[in-house]
Amino acid sequence: MIGSNIAPLIEAEHAAVTAARHAMVVHAIEYGRLLSEAKATVQHGQWDNWIRVNCSFAARTAQLYMRAHKHLGGKIGQVVQFSGSSTCARTSTWPLIRQKRNALRISVCGS
């Protein structure tokens, strides 16, 4: 495939990446909501142990996603409509998530 024959494939992949990025943000916020809901049922001081017993990730990871839900949960429609990293830079939670994305193996802003 050379020239204009490949352009539709490139556009299709771009659309797929954009859709996946949007879905990832929605799932990240829902992940945080569920964690927050679970934490509310755990006795004070037992959250880290609950995470160790019930989850395959660290308590720090849970904190990140709960923070995303806390700050962005009510703004999901606005968040998934971002373009590039400009919205991420304006949203206080995203810099922290971007800082930790390598440990989490995610790229919230697609950067």
**Which tens digits make up the pLDDT trace of 24-36?**
888 888 999 999 9
Rounded Cα gap, residues 36 and 70, in angstroms: 9
pLDDT in tens, 46-55: 999 999 999 9
- Answer whether residue 95 shows pLDDT above 70: no
First-last CA distance in the chain = 28
Task: Identify the residue with better confidence: 101 or 70.
Answer: 70
What DSSP element (H or E) covers 5? none
| DSSP H/E element including 12 | helix 7-39
Does residue 111 sit within a domain?
A: no
110 domain-assigned: no
Asked if the structure places residue 82 within a domain, the reply is yes
Residue 57 located in a structural domain? yes
- How far apart CA 18 and CA 24 sit, in angstroms, is 10
42 phi and psi angles, rounded to 5 deg: -95, 140
Assigned domain for 99 exists: yes
Say how many domains are in the chain: 1
Range of the domain at 47: 3-104
Q: Does residue 95 fall inside a structural domain? A: yes
